[in-house]
Each structure stands twice: as structure tokens, then as C-alpha cells.
Chains A and B, each alone.
Chain A
Amino acid sequence: MTPDTARVYCPVCQAKFRFVEGWGEGDEAVCPICGQKLRLRSGADGWVGARVAPMTEKEIRYRAENFAKVRGYHFSDVKEDVIEGLVGKQRRFGDFYCPCRMLHTPEYQCPCKPTRGGDVDREGRCHCGFFWK
């Protein structure tokens, strides 16, 4: 039995989201905070999501599409250039960091912390011009 308060840890946004009743070991779920597709596993410290197709273009495309859908954002005509930049960041710096910043820490994995925190709602777009209100 999983208690109602159970949470799943997302390694991308480094936050926990609510575990939905009916989920189980090995199931796929989407992080409602950053849009990452995760495979669920139960560990000593609770539920953890493992990134599905990690470090692939497919992963970042899926994450970005999910994030935009959850937040009601859209993309502009630079979408494909930003994806190319994100893939370049992953190749050179090890993960999908903002392509328009020189910051390579977990909070700047796309969608970055300022974007997850509402920058698009406040500014109309994210720093890189990827997500638009």
C-alpha cells in the first residue's frame, strides 16, 4: 500500500511530485514539474524516477513538449535551433543546459529553474526564447 503522501523524486528538476495511486515499479510517468519521462522504481528513500532514453535528442524533445503542454506555452520559429543548441550542450557539457547561458549546473537543465518558477508567465518567454507564453 502506498500512502497518499508518497512522492516521486525527479532527477531532472530535483523535486518531488505526487505519486498517483495505481503506479508501480517499472511504470512510466511524466514529471508534472519539468515534463521529463521517468521510469519508476522504489528505493530505500522512496520512489525515484529514472530518466527514460537519457541524454538523447528524443529525451529533450519529449521533455520540452510535455513541459510546454502542461504549462500551456508554445514554441517560436527558433525551436529547432534551440534543440540543436541543447544537444550541443549535452555533447560538450554533459547535459541539456540552457543553450544561451554559460551555466552548467542542475538548476539550468532545460526547462531551467527560472522557467519552472514562472519566468515565461512574467516575461512572456524564457531566457533562450524556447518557451513562449
Chain B
Amino acid sequence: MDKKIKVYALSTCPYCKRTKRFLDEHKVPYEHTDVDLLDDDEQEVVLSEIERLTGKRAFPVVLIEAEVIVGHDEERLRKVLGL
């Protein structure tokens, strides 16, 4: 897997956990940030970026190069990742 993958999540969100678990189970490497655990200043920067990318502040957000997946969506993850 050579695609660069970034996951924005909340540490308390069950669907974020499912998305990370799905990627782990398929041995897909990814970077992740638990937005709620960031310092206030950094958190606002990241939230603004998420809003810019998705038009809202919903989680999880998975960035797979140009693809943006909002919410836990195994079907789209499979399709985009070719699983």
C-alpha cells in the first residue's frame, strides 16, 4: 500500500474506532490524529481544515490522497483502497 492515508478521529467516537480497526485488520498503514486530544490552538486549526475539506465537522474523516471519506464507510474504503 503506497497511498498516503490520514485519519482524523475523536477518541470517544465508536465509528472512528471501527474505521481504524478496519484499516488495522487489512494491514493498511495510516497516520491518525485524535482531534479531541489536541491542544486548543492545534485543535482549532485541524477542525478548520476538516471543515474546509468536508463542509462540516463530522468524524471520522479519512483522506486517501485526493479522496475524502466522511464517516465509517467500509464499502468506500474497500473501493478506494482496492481491498
Residues in chain A within 8 A of chain B (CB atoms):
78, 81-82, 84-86, 88-89, 92, 99-102, 127-129
Across-interface contacts of A101 in B (CB, < 8 A): 10, 57-58
Instruction: Select which of B11, B14, B59 is within 8 A of A78 by beta carbon.
Output: B14
Residues in chain B within 8 A of chain A (CB atoms):
10-17, 35-36, 43, 47, 57-59
Instruction: Select which of B13, B35, B57, B58 is within 8 A of A99 by beta carbon.
Output: B13
Instruction: Select which of A89, A102, A127, A129 is within 8 A of B14 by beta carbon.
Output: A129
Q: How far is the CB of B48 from chain A (nearest CB, A)?
A: 12
Please tell me if the beta carbons of B15 and A100 are within 8 angstroms of each other in the complex.
yes
Please tell me if the beta carbons of B14 and A81 are within 8 angstroms of each other in the complex.
yes
Closest chain A residue, CB of each to CB of B50: A102
Across-interface contacts of B47 in A (CB, < 8 A): 102
Please tell me if the beta carbons of B36 and A78 are within 8 angstroms of each other in the complex.
no
Across-interface contacts of B11 in A (CB, < 8 A): 88
Please tell me if the beta carbons of B10 and A102 are within 8 angstroms of each other in the complex.
yes
Across-interface contacts of A81 in B (CB, < 8 A): 14, 17
How far is A100 from B10 in the complex, measured between Cα atoms in Å? 7
Across-interface contacts of A89 in B (CB, < 8 A): 12
Shortest 7 CB-CB contacts between residues of A and residues of B: A81-B14, A85-B12, A99-B12, A88-B12, A100-B13, A78-B14, A89-B12
Most buried by B among A88, A99, A102, A127: A102
Across-interface contacts of A128 in B (CB, < 8 A): 13-14
Across-interface contacts of A99 in B (CB, < 8 A): 10, 12-14
Q: A92-B36, A102-B35, A102-B36 are in contact. Are A85 and B57 (CB under 8 A)?
A: no
Closest chain B residue, CB of each to CB of A91: B12
How far is A5 from B27 in the complex, measured between Cα atoms in Å? 62
Please tell me if the beta carbons of B36 and A100 are within 8 angstroms of each other in the complex.
no
Please tell me if the beta carbons of A102 and B57 are within 8 angstroms of each other in the complex.
yes
